[in-house]
Amino acid sequence: MLALQGDVREHFHALAECGAEAVNVRRESELAAVDALVLPGGESTAISKLLEVFGLLEPLRQRLREGMPAFGSCAGMILLASEVLDTRPDAQSLSGIDMTVRRNAFGRQVDSFEADLDFAGLDDGPVRAVFIRAPWVERAGDGVEVLARVPAGPAEGRIVAVRQGNVLATSFHPEVTGDLRVHRMFVESVLTPADR
Ligand code: GLN
């Protein structure tokens, strides 16, 4: 659990509920000790800065290159992108997923909203998604699976959940709703790595 800034506690609880042993990662030795990493929602530019300050940026890029499973929600999705639009010029990205993400994409008028999403691989009903100053995926690369899109409204069809190999990202915050299915999907992918 990357614990530099953001809604770390909510992810912690969700992971614990799924039976995963979650620990805080703030330094390189802690990163080296985990099997997988969750990047929380929060403020991507602040987390990016702190990754540099804590000397985690390159070690984290390296672990992702080596195939460490990861899950990012909202700011975490932004950090996992290979390209970010509408961010600060000095913000760093981790290139865990071949995608272009637009930050704060839903606009100022709609700071936050909720929607019920069809989520590929989760067949037992829609996922209630909470979006808070959320990004969307503007371009998903060839190897990227699209798992969910906005179902209706002005942003209809926009991509809000993706997976490449065992790196998962959502524009929204599954950690705040009590619906554990997305976290379970991630934990299961860590336990049974996809052959990709
Ligand atoms: N808008 C935030 C950012 O740019 C993300 C918001 C969130 O994580 N809820 O990082």
Predicted model pTM:
0.95
Set 11, 74, 145, 183: catalytic member: 74
**CATH class of the 8-191 domain in this structure:** alpha beta
Query: Is residue 44 helix, strand or coil?
Result: helix
Beta-sheet strands, E only, within the chain: 37-39, 70-73, 83-85, 99-102, 112-119, 122-132, 136-140, 145-149, 159-164, 167-170
Ligand 1 pocket, 44 CB below 6 A? yes
Q: Where are the domains of the chain?
A: 8-191
Cα distances (Å, whole numbers) of residue 95 to 23, 58, 121, 189 = 23, 11, 24, 19
Tell me, in angstroms, the distance from the centre of ligand 1 to residue 191's CA. Answer: 29
Mean pLDDT of the chain: 95
Cβ atoms of 84 and 101 within 8 Å: the answer is yes
For the chain, helix (H) and strand (E) counts, in that order, are 6, 10
Q: 35-70 pLDDT, tens per residue?
A: 999 999 999 999 999 999 999 999 999 999 999 999
User: Quick one: pLDDT at residue 48?
Assistant: 98
Mean pLDDT, residues 71-93 taken together: 97
Instruction: List residues forming the annotated binding site for L-glutamine.
Output: 42-44, 103, 132-133
Phi/psi for 37 (5° steps) reads -140, 135
Cβ atoms of 175 and 10 within 8 Å: the answer is yes
Q: Do you know the residue count of the chain?
A: 196
User: Quick one: pLDDT at residue 107?
Assistant: 82
Contacts of 183 (CB under 8 A, 6+ apart): 11, 14, 15, 17, 18, 20, 71, 174, 175
Instruction: List residues forming the annotated binding site.
Output: 42-44, 103, 132-133
Ligand 1 pocket, 74 CB below 6 A? yes
pLDDT for 85 beyond 70 = yes
Ligand 1 pocket, 104 CB below 6 A? yes
pLDDT for 121 beyond 90 = yes
Higher-confidence residue: 191 or 78? 78
Query: Is residue 103 helix, strand or coil?
Result: coil
Q: 5-20 pLDDT, tens per residue?
A: 999 999 999 999 999 9
How large is the C-alpha radius of gyration of the chain? Answer: 15
Mean pLDDT, residues 122-137 taken together: 96
Ligand 1 pocket, 133 CB below 6 A? yes
